[in-house]
Homo-oligomer: A and B are copies of this chain.
Amino acid sequence: MTGFVGVKNMIRWLTTQGIAPTLTGMAEAIEEDFRRWPVFNKTERVASHTPFGVMELMPIADPDLYSFKYVNGHPLNPARGYQTVTAFGVLANVHNGYPVFVAEMTILTALRTAATSAMAARALARKDSTVMAMVGAGSQSEFQAIAFRELLGIRRLRIYDTDDRATEKFVRNLTPLGFDIQVCPSGKEAVRGAEIITTCTADKTHATLLYSADVSPGVHVNAIGGDCPGKTELDPEILRRSTVFVEFEPQTRIEGEIQALPETFPVTPLWKVLAGEAAGRTTGNDITVFDSVGFAIEDYSALRYLYESVSGSPLCEEIDLVADPDDPKDLFGFALAPSPVF
């Protein structure tokens, strides 16, 4: 039998162990896997582009465990009552190829993205950071806020979104959790005085949410939303003034903020900073940018963290995904026995 965590049990898991410890634990798992980056067999993601959106498969493997995520991105979905992004993921045993675990990843992806952002910021932002500006109050925003509070102690947020309803939802969800939230009339206003800036919108265009003139020395920019060819959020001038950190460079060159810059623009792999093989921030005046697009290792880490947490518990259901006859060559007899197996 194959383990299964659907939406219902994902929510039970999250509410039982609490979102704060979940994000902290997941960030540890992701950091652990980033530190052993060279061990992973990294494959390109496979995208099917359509007029409505994109459907992607993101596989990766270490010597023992293989994972992949199915994820779609349909920017017009919210207007029709659907989510922009849904996802699910699978773990398989490399030694015999059998799938061992299937999980919903719409919620899990929101968690892993926030955990990855905060993990990167913990390594790159100034230690004395106290205020985070957020441009974009969509699905991902609350998860980001909580991850930054848990990993960096940030409690003061300055938020801007073009959609007032999204901003209201953000305030409604986070105020009871003890955040100090300032709603701002523009992105320019939001970033004023913030040591950390998170950009996270879903527009599938080259939008400029953040102008270089508004970004002060010393700031850390957590650039989440530029994650697709033709989809960026930053004034490229910001990148030129910054040290830019990336997940998997070949993918980020195509999908990240740096798609706007020449191939020769220097970037630093985040994993090298975490593994002590490259410098992160070198002075209090550096601008650091985490040009995040989302990479398969983060999904691998999130899935294995979830699997280790729920395995053997009532939160992990079982589904009969793998036909496994006693005689491996007698699939026919197994499927069509005169006395059916079931």
Nearest residue (CB) in B for A141 is B332
Instruction: State whether A94 touches B332 (Cβ < 8 A).
Output: no
The stretch of A185-193, A205-213, A231-239, A315-323 that contacts the partner chain? A315-323
User: What is the interface of chain A, defined by CB distance below 8 A to chain B?
Assistant: 4, 6-8, 10-12, 14-15, 19, 41, 43-44, 46, 48, 50, 52-55, 57, 59, 61, 63, 66, 68, 70, 72-74, 77-78, 80-84, 86, 88, 90, 92, 94-99, 102, 104, 106-107, 110, 137-143, 163, 165-166, 169, 172-173, 176, 319-325, 327-336, 338, 340-342
- Contact B82 A86, beta carbon cutoff 8 Å: no
Of A54, A57, A61, most buried by chain B (CB within 10 Å of CB) is A57
Across the interface, name the chain B residue whose C-beta is closest to A53: B97
Out of B8, B59, B94, B96, name the residue touching A82 (CB < 8 Å): B96
Distance of A104 from chain B, by nearest CB (Å)? 5
Q: Which residues of B contact A90 (CB under 8 A)?
A: 70
Residues of chain B within 8 A of A338, CB atoms compared: 176
Q: Known contacts being A323-B86, A331-B107, is A77 close to B57, with CB within 8 Å? A: no
Assess whether B74 is in contact with A336, with CB atoms less than 8 Å apart: no
> CA–CA, A46 to B54, complex, Å?
17
**Residue in contact with A323 in the complex, picked from B54, B107, B330, CB distance below 8 Å:** B107
Among A55, A66, A141: residue with most chain B CB under 10 A = A55
CB distance from A169 to the nearest CB of B (A): 5
Check B14–A336 contact: CB distance below 8 A. Answer: yes
CB of A49 to closest CB in B, whole Å: 8
Given A55-B92, A335-B11; A319-B6 close (CB under 8 Å): yes
Some 18 contacts from A to B, beta carbons below 8 A apart, are A4-B319, A7-B322, A11-B336, A11-B342, A41-B48, A48-B59, A50-B61, A72-B92, A77-B96, A83-B325, A83-B328, A86-B324, A88-B99, A104-B323, A106-B323, A163-B329, A165-B329, A319-B319
Residues from chain B with a CB closer than 8 A to the CB of A84 are: 328
Give the residues in chain B near A96, CB-CB below 8 Å.
52-53, 72, 74, 77, 80, 82
The answer to whether A328 touches B82 (Cβ under 8 A) is yes
